[in-house]
Amino acid sequence: MTSEHPSPIGLLVIDKPLHKTSMHVCANVRARLRRGGSPKRIKVGHGGTLDPLATGVLVILIGKATKLQDRIMVGQKRYLAGIDLAHTSRTDDREGPIEPIECDPVSESSIRAVLPDFIGTIMQRPPAFSAMKIEGRRAYHLARNAEHAGDMPSLKPRPVRIDTIDIVSYEWPILTLDISCGKGTYIRSLARDLGRTLGAGGMLSSLVRTSVGPFSIEDARTLDDLPESLTQHDLLPIPQQILDQSASDSSESSGSSDSPASAS
């Protein structure tokens, strides 16, 4: 005999809190689902990692919806990014250590002049402290081990797509940008590379993901908003456009022996 209910299927759009990992959010949701009667092995995943120092839209997939993870991750993402042009960091964000850069304030016109260079399909080197793999090992593990030796790992540049970059506000040294981009783009790397192009510092001071595909921050709930016990009734259905895209991809792949390469 068991009191477990059938495994729920659906998703949640969560506004990830600061200092929490994406997997922490998954674990939190899984615990609430279990309290609601879900099987102990209920599958819970997410559609694209957010760093602990970032907040915003994190799509949580539950049950059989986890099979659509790639469809969520491939969608366009939008970010509100604060960039500090007077400092740099080994992690390219506030996790540090942070170093001040001696440079004159950069004019807004100078920033506008170089932004077009970062739009389109560009080559971008991921941060040394990232989840990218180097010979089977996570880059951040290698970077932590190499910090004292002074020999930080260097990841190879790879193509990413940035669709739009708009200046929201600028008061030296903090530049706030609204960025739309494709899968695999590191906003930390954009902050680093933009600063270098301007002859200044460049590190991410804040980051909010405002949308992932059809999912917007306006529709997101905080963990505190969720009931302590989650059931099927509390979950959102998979949007039809995601289901349609998944069906289209399956139809296309059935006619070819080549599998598409995946990127994290």
Q: Which two tokens stand for residue 82?
A: 């604060």
CB 191, CB 83: distance < 8 Å: yes
User: Which residue among the candidates 51, 84, 93, 193 is catalytic per the annotation?
Assistant: 51
CB 191, CB 85: distance < 8 Å: no
- The residues, ordered by sequence, that sit 6+ positions from 146 with a Cβ below 8 Å of its Cβ are 152, 153
Eight-class DSSP state of 127: P
51 is catalytic: yes
Residues 121-130 as b or e (16 or more Cβ within 10 Å = b): ebebbbbbbb
Eight-class DSSP state of 232: G
CB 132, CB 139: distance < 8 Å: yes
3-class secondary-structure state, position 252: helix
Q: Catalytic residues, which ones?
A: 51
